[in-house]
Amino acid sequence: MYRIFRKRGLRIIEKIGIFYLFLSLATSIVYTIWAVYLESFFHNASSVGLLTSLFTVLGVFSYFLFIPLVQRKSKTGLLFISLLFFAISYFIFSIYSNVYLVIVLGAILTIFGSLRITTFGILVRDKTSDKNVSKNEGRIYTLLNLAWLVGPLIAGFVANKYGFDNVFFLGFLLVLISMMLFRFFKIKDDRKTRKVDSNVFKLIFSFFSKKDRVLIYILSGAVTFWWALIYIYIPIYLIEQGYGTFLIGLFLSVVVVPLILFEYSFGKIAGKRGFKKLFFTGFIILSFISVLCFFISNIYILLFLLILASVGVSMIESTSEAYFFDIINKEQRDKYYGVYNTAVDLGFLLGTLPAALLLLFFSFKSVFVLFSFFTLLFALISLRMKEVYESGHK
Q: Which residues contact 372 (CB under 8 A, 6 or more apart)?
A: 287, 288, 290, 291, 294
CA–CA dist 318, 316 (Å, integer):
6
Domain 2-189+200-392: CATH superfamily, name plus number: MFS general substrate transporter like domains (1.20.1250.20)
Q: Is the Cα torsion angle 377, 120, 50, 307 positive or negative in sign?
A: positive
DSSP 254: H
Quick one: pLDDT at residue 18?
85
Percent of the chain with pLDDT over 90: 25
Q: Is the Cα torsion angle 374, 340, 21, 177 positive or negative in sign?
A: negative
Quick one: pLDDT at residue 4?
39
pLDDT of 257 strictly over 80: yes
79 neighbors 119 (Cβ within 8 angstroms): yes
pLDDT, mean over the chain? 83
The residue extents of the domains of the chain are: 2-189+200-392
CA–CA dist 229, 348 (Å, integer):
9
CA–CA dist 274, 206 (Å, integer):
26
Burial class (CB in 10 A: 0-12, 13-18, 19+), 3: exposed
Position 34 confidence tier, pLDDT thresholds 50, 70, 90: confident
| pTM recorded for the entire structure | 0.73
pLDDT digits (tens, 9 = 90+) for 171-226: 999 999 999 988 888 777 666 666 655 667 788 888 888 898 999 999 999 989 99
Q: Which residues contact 62 (CB under 8 A, 6 or more apart)?
A: 110, 111, 114, 115
